[in-house]
Structure 1
């Protein structure tokens, strides 16, 4: 089974500016299937604000042929060594909704150890430029729902210009995540996500869109001074 990884790291400002225009991850990296290099954002933050676009905070979502390929990249490549200064989680694929290019979705699907196990969700979309205002109108309430939800352990958004937007969230349990998706949570205005999905079905915001669900298998490093976001994983 191939391995997915999600990385968060703070980088120098000059490198961050360069990364806006040139992807620093070589697509021909040995063992790399595909990687999305993005700038982190705070879920639900005002559109015009310093927290909306966190220029020096980078999110990388990648798929590898195997864990050995990831280890080699982290220990031998310049950007890989930089990622060791941040945080990352390694993931096994569980489910996919929608489609997006670049990744090779495995036929084999992982299963959670128990119903109380944590789960990770990643969404990636290629936006239609003219749909951005409508997307923000429907999307920001959903961002706030995920950000403030009592079932999340870590959540954020990310973007890569000109048209890629993504979200990442770790949930205490799969049930809490699916309840949020279907509008059954105990949070205020629980149907924000369900309503946004209905609007997307009416008139799509995206050229491509996918939601991916993963089983977290190991966690490394720290992010914003915190380690071990996922309590049922061993410390690495």
Structure 2
């Protein structure tokens, strides 16, 4: 059964740089369908800032054929062993908006959900480099909205030069995430995400863009001293 994972770990900068250049693939890692490896960014950080490209902190989003493949990678692969020292969550795919060429077989929807259950959202985009100034203008308010939202337990962004950007957020409930998306949250300027999506539809920032919704299945390790980042009773 297909499983997705999202990993966070601290690595030496040189190792992060090598990982960004030569990420794992199905040819090197049995059971891996696709992986996105990125350096972390702090949501809402200034454009020119060390927090905008953190080479000591790496994220990996991946699709696997089964959980055995995940376990083999974390136990036997050089990068996998370093990721195993950090934190990761295993995910059940529920829904996507738009599509990534690298993940062509995911259906638009794979199941239902309770509006009060926790949920994980992942976005992956390939930027149009000429649209970066526009993207930053519209995107930074959304970054701050998600980062500071009372419904998130973890929210971050990550980047792989020159054009791949990803966001990852853990939400206490589907309901709170959907309220944020549609501008109905009880926060200051709740319509920031809805406004940015309207601007993207007017003129796209990206060559490719997809948002994925997942049910968290199990959580492993710690991140920045935190465990139990995902609400509820997980492994």
- 1:33 and 2:33 matched: yes
Cα RMSD over matched residues?
1.3
Once superposed, which parts of structure 1, at least 4 consecutive aligned residues long, lie more than 4 Å away?
none
Q: Which residue of the partner structure matches residue 192 of structure 1?
A: 192
Aligned residues of 1:158 and 1:165 also touching (Cα < 8 A) = yes
Aligned residues of 2:25 and 2:35 also touching (Cα < 8 A) = no
Write the distance in 2 (CA, Å) between the matches of 1:87 and 1:190: 30
Q: Secondary structure at the match of 2:154?
A: strand
Q: Which residue of the partner structure matches residue 220 of structure 1?
A: 220
Q: Secondary structure at the match of 1:40?
A: strand
CA-CA distance at 1:116 after TM superposition: 2.2
CA-CA distance at 1:104 after TM superposition: 4.2
Q: Which runs of 5+ in 2 are unaligned?
A: none
Q: Secondary structure at the match of 2:213?
A: strand
Aligned residues of 2:23 and 2:36 also touching (Cα < 8 A) = no
Write the distance in 2 (CA, Å) between the matches of 1:213 and 1:160: 22
Matches within 5 A, 1:1-236: 1-20=1-20, 22-28=21-27, 29-107=29-107, 109-112=110-113, 114-235=114-235
Q: Which runs of 5+ in 1 are unaligned?
A: none
State the TM-score, normalized to the length of structure 2. 0.95
Relative to structure 1, the CA distance from residue 218 to residue 104 in structure 2 (aligned partners, 3 Å threshold; closer, same or farther) is: farther
Aligned residues of 1:120 and 1:169 also touching (Cα < 8 A) = yes
State the TM-score, normalized to the length of structure 1. 0.95
